[in-house]
Amino acid sequence: MPIQVEKLRIILYPDPRLRQRATPIDRFDDELARVAGRMIELMGVEEGVGLAAPQLGLSMRLFIAQPDRQAPPNAFVNPTLTLGDEEDVREEGCLSVPEVHVMIRRSIKAEISAMDLSGQPIKLSGEGFVARIWQHEFDHLEGRLITQRMSETERIENRKKLREMEREFEKARRK
Ligand code: NI
């Protein structure tokens, strides 16, 4: 069934679609390009630096990253990451978990192998912010959210916000 691209919206915690492992992409067609276009549009509106297809409720191994707003975003299809040993801890947010910030330990350096929207292979090395974005977005493809990486203190600090989102989700589901 074709995807109604213009109807796609960013879905929020605790939508279970955010917790599913996404499916590899095997068609590099116009629909894939339109989905990526919609993701770039939604990310721009929210001033995000990355967005993964599962955040639109799509089980597709696709994410976009735009660490630098002056440069065009990159789209990565079926990505794999090779992580460096050295790690650091930085604060992260997520467009699917608004207003929640979590300190997360990640590799400082990463290499990404993927395909672009036309199926051509890409291989890039990144360090710092961009490597962190790739790891965060890759987590989305694996069904992992920042809420699962919270410390006990962060869980307590964000309890009200998370409960509120859980209530909103239940309310919308019952409609
Ligand atoms: Ni996210």
Q: How far is the CA of 51 from the centre of ligand 1 (A)?
A: 6
Measured distance CA(107)–CA(126) in Å, rounded? 10
Quick one: pLDDT at residue 175?
79
* Ligand 1 centre distance from Cα of residue 98 (Å): 9
Question: Averaged over 43-57, what is the pLDDT?
Answer: 96
Grade residue 58 by pLDDT with cuts at 50, 70 and 90.
very high
**CA–CA distance, 63 with 141 (Å, rounded to integer):** 8
pLDDT band at 83, cuts 50/70/90?
very high
The pLDDT assigned to 158 comes to 95
CA of 171 to the centre of ligand 1 (A): 23
Whole-number Å distance, alpha carbon 68 to ligand 1 midpoint, is: 17
Query: In whole numbers, what is the pLDDT of the chain averaged over residues?
Result: 96
User: Is 137 marked active-site?
Assistant: yes
Per residue in 2-46, pLDDT tens?
Answer: 889 999 999 999 999 999 999 999 999 999 999 999 999 999 999
Report the greatest alpha carbon distance in the chain: 48
Active-site residue identified among 92, 111, 127, 137: 137
Integer Cα distance of 115 and 24 in angstroms:
11
- Confidence check: pLDDT of 163 > 90: yes
Q: Please name the residues in contact with 146: beta carbons below 8 A apart, sequence gap of 6 or more.
A: 92, 93, 94, 97, 100, 102, 104, 136
Percent of the chain with pLDDT over 90: 95
Residue for token pair 């006990």: 152
36 neighbors 62 (Cβ within 8 angstroms): yes
Q: Give the Å distance between the CA of 137 and the centre of ligand 1.
A: 6
The three-class DSSP label of residue 142 is coil
The confidence score (pLDDT) of residue 1 equals 77
